[in-house]
Structure 1
Amino acid sequence: MTEKEKMLSGQPYKSFVQELVEERQHAKEVLFDFNALRPSEIEKRNEMIKKLLGKAGKEFFIEPPFRCDYGYNISIGENFYSNYNCTILDCAPVTIGDNCMFGPNVSLFTAGHPIQPEPRNAGIEFAYPITIGNNVWIGGGVIINPGITIGDNVVIGAGSVVTKDIPANVIAVGNPCRVLREID
Structure 2
Amino acid sequence: MTEKEKMLSGAFYDSRDPELLAMYHKARKLLKAYNYLDSENLAERGRILSDLFEYKADGVWIETPFFCDYGANISIGENTFVNTNCMFLDNNKITIGKNGLIAPYVQVYTAIHPLKAADRIITEDKSSRYLTSTKPVSIGDNAWIGGNSVIFPGVTIGNNVTIGAGSVVTKDIPDNVLAFGNPCVVQKEL
TM-score range relative to shorter protein: over 0.9
Structure 1: runs of 5+ lacking an equivalent: none
1:58 is displaced (CA, Å) by 1.0
CA distance in 2, matches of 1:26, 1:168: 36
1:39 is displaced (CA, Å) by 1.9
Q: Counterparts of 1:107-122 in structure 2 under 5 Å?
A: 107-122=107-122
Q: 2:43 is matched with which residue?
A: 43
1:22 is displaced (CA, Å) by 1.9
1:131 alignment partner, SS class: strand
Q: 1:144 is matched with which residue?
A: 151
Q: 12-21 vs 50-59, which deviates more?
A: 12-21
User: TM-score of the superposition, structure 1-length normalised?
Assistant: 0.97
1:14 alignment partner, SS class: coil
Deviations 1:63-82 (A, max 9, x none): 01111111111000011101
CA distance in 1, matches of 2:115, 2:96: 28
Q: 1:30 is matched with which residue?
A: 30
Deviations 1:29-68 (A, max 9, x none): 1101100111222221111011110001111100011111
CA distance in 2, matches of 1:119, 1:37: 42
User: TM-score of the superposition, structure 2-length normalised?
Assistant: 0.94
Q: 75-84 vs 11-20, which deviates more?
A: 11-20
2:179 counterpart of 1:172:
yes
Question: Following TM superposition, where does structure 1 have runs of at least 4 consecutive aligned residues deviating by more than 4 angstroms?
Answer: none
CA distance in 2, matches of 1:130, 1:173: 18
The letter for the 2-side match of 1:172 is A
CA distance in 2, matches of 1:24, 1:163: 26
CA distance in 2, matches of 1:43, 1:119: 47
Q: 1:159 is matched with which residue?
A: 166
Q: 2:17 is matched with which residue?
A: 17
1:20 is displaced (CA, Å) by 1.2
CA distance in 2, matches of 1:3, 1:105: 30
% of aligned pairs identical?
48
* Alignment length (residue pairs): 183
Q: Counterparts of 1:97-136 in structure 2 under 5 Å?
A: 97-122=97-122, 123-136=130-143
The letter for the 1-side match of 2:5 is E
